[in-house]
Structure 1
Amino acid sequence: MSSPLPITRANPPMLHPGPVNPQRFHAVPVRTHDLDIHLEAGQRVEDAICAAVADAGCDGAWVDMAGLHADPYAFVMPAKSIDGTRVAWYSETYEPAGETRVDMGGMSVGHHGGGPFTHCHGIWTSSDGATLGHMLAPLCTVSRSVTLTATGFKGGRFERLPDDETCFDLFRACPVVPPVQSADAVLMTLRPNTDLCATIEQTARDYGITDGQIYGLGSLNGARFRDAPPMYSAITEFIINSGELIDGRARITLSAVDIEKQIYSGKVQSSDAPISITAEILLRSL
């Protein structure tokens, strides 16, 4: 693999309470499969999606959540740490009245403690208006039947594990035995202060990928955009709206929300989108 990535400086580096892990990102080659996930009204969102992924024989998946309607619906947003043991935490749980519609969003389907686990960021509209946040999928119930599109994968998965550096339990890209032959994608997770685009580009070079689709979510310590004002907030959550790798260069448009509930959207400027806590990325070769 290539040498360690340089630390970016869109904001001062994020200082976490634990020791800095020398491995700044994890990458696992996987084989992908297109999936349609049909949900019926009355199903719990997380249970139904995880069951569909397992039934398809996949180790994990990235699910496009656009078009989901749910009632009840629950989510949290980024917030300052309540006890100072971490650099950030989660807000109170929001449970808007009535039905909520997911306008765009993505879900990582992974594994934790012997069973499935999910992580979902998105933009949704409820009785309280439009919001970007972190869906609490176990608390959400499908209110209208819908078919979601997904990318299932084999040979690797997101495994939720304790992280000494950040003092969070975080998804980590991990291999699954047996490894796949003829992988066509890379699953990756990024650590604090690594740059989003630079890490994806380096990983693409490592695995011989020049063109592809980029999916993912995570948190950023500020960002500069090519078509919008910069985001200086250090505690945020983001979702990739659209992402492409073209001739080895990452082209990413994302939306993020900060602790003031301010939403930022734009085309990321290369080397100016450092991770604050983590990012979960699927790079699928074209």
Structure 2
Amino acid sequence: MRRPAPQTLDDIRHPGPLAQDRLPHALCHAIKIECQVSAGEPLLDTLGRWADDTGFSSAVLDLSGVQLAAFDYVMPDRADDDRHAAWYSDTHSSKGTELEEAIAILGWRDGAWFAHIHAYWRENNTWHLGHLLPETLRFNDDANITGHGLVGARFEASLDPETEFTLFRVTSDRDAMSGKTANALITTLAPFTDLYEGITALGNQLPGDGYSVHGLGSLAGSHFEDGPPMTGLISEILLQNGAAKPQNGKLSLPLRTVDLNKGLFQGHATPGKCPTLVTNELLLVAQN
């Protein structure tokens, strides 16, 4: 039986001790990339092989427009034990579709390539946003994938003591940069860290004044500058294209969310009103 849904932030209790660093991050060098993939290939094997061939330690990739064969996915839901603050729904299945918007964080888990993917798509005249299970994904058509390959830092899955989830954590390897200048950083925000304010603070670590933002994660409710709020406190999100702080401008965070009741929300995040639920995995890239 699943636990009752939290009604306030005080109802959300993670089981472990608070991590001391609420904005863990690592500087790195990000390179814009294009990756050609072929119909019929398993997504995880293909992207891992590409990263091996190109020498990247991790990547943040845009899968928007990719055609997938049948796959499985889950959605945010209440915890089904007395430890976790949230969990996943039962597994759902898609017959295959084109992803309208999707972000993949490519990193490592148990010594092998792994991907954390959130996607938004239309199927059976209904829009969906979910967490795709990477081992079930296969390309249904040739595709050209864009994004950023990373050198000098990577996402690597390990048990997070605070939430007791196995999550991507940030690992630094500055020696691998071989003289390259740090023009980016990766981060995994801690629970209750505000998405907007956390990004703003981290952006100060980058050279220059402007940067783009890419990633996915979860929020404990959210307010939008241009849309109704998401009041459900268990959700998953993906940042949309255009999330950025222009030179001498204001940070803009357009995002999509789905709550535990399958409600879909979209808009520009309101500063101070988008607390992280479990984590947000992000890449910030300095603008030239």
> What TM-score comes out, normalization by structure 2 length?
0.92
Describe the SS at the equivalent of 1:95: strand
CA distance in 1, matches of 2:112, 2:237: 26
Matches within 5 A, 1:123-162: 123-127=120-124, 129-162=126-159
CA distance in 2, matches of 1:164, 1:136: 23
1:32-75, Cα deviation, whole Å (9 max, x unpaired)? 11211111111111111121122111111011011111112111
Describe the SS at the equivalent of 1:201: helix
Report which stretch shifted further, 200-209 or 102-111.
200-209
Q: In the TM superposition, what is the alpha-carbon distance from 1:176 to its structure 2 partner?
A: 1.9
Report which stretch shifted further, 109-118 or 242-251.
242-251
Identify the match of residue 54 of structure 2 among 53, 56, 71: 56
Instruction: Work out whether residues 28 and 174 of structure 2, in 8 Å CA contact, stay in contact via their aligned partners in 1.
Output: no
Matches within 5 A, 1:66-77: 66-77=64-75
For 1:8, the equivalent position in structure 2 comes to: none
For 2:244, the equivalent position in structure 1 comes to: 244
1:202-257, Cα deviation, whole Å (9 max, x unpaired)? 11113344101110100001111100011111100000013111337421000000
CA distance in 1, matches of 2:249, 2:18: 29
* Paired-residue identity, %: 29
Matches within 5 A, 1:91-240: 91-97=89-95, 99-127=96-124, 129-180=126-177, 181-240=180-239
Report which stretch shifted further, 131-140 or 46-55.
46-55
Q: Which consecutive segments of 4 or more residues in structure 1 shift more than 6 A?
A: none
CA distance in 2, matches of 1:128, 1:92: 21
Q: Which amino acid aligns with 1:244?
A: A
For 2:4, the equivalent position in structure 1 comes to: none
Instruction: Work out whether residues 34 and 151 of structure 1, in 8 Å CA contact, stay in contact via their aligned partners in 2.
Output: yes
Describe the SS at the equivalent of 2:71: coil
For 2:276, the equivalent position in structure 1 comes to: 275
Aligned residues: 276
Q: In the TM superposition, what is the alpha-carbon distance from 1:119 to its structure 2 partner?
A: 0.2
Report which stretch shifted further, 177-186 or 57-66.
177-186
Q: Which amino acid aligns with 1:37?
A: C
For 1:255, the equivalent position in structure 2 comes to: 256
Describe the SS at the equivalent of 1:224: strand
Report which stretch shifted further, 271-280 or 170-179.
170-179
2:13 matched to 1:15? Answer: yes
Report which stretch shifted further, 199-208 or 103-112.
199-208
For structure 1, list consecutive stretches of 5 or more residues without a partner in the other structure: 1-10
Describe the SS at the equivalent of 2:48: helix
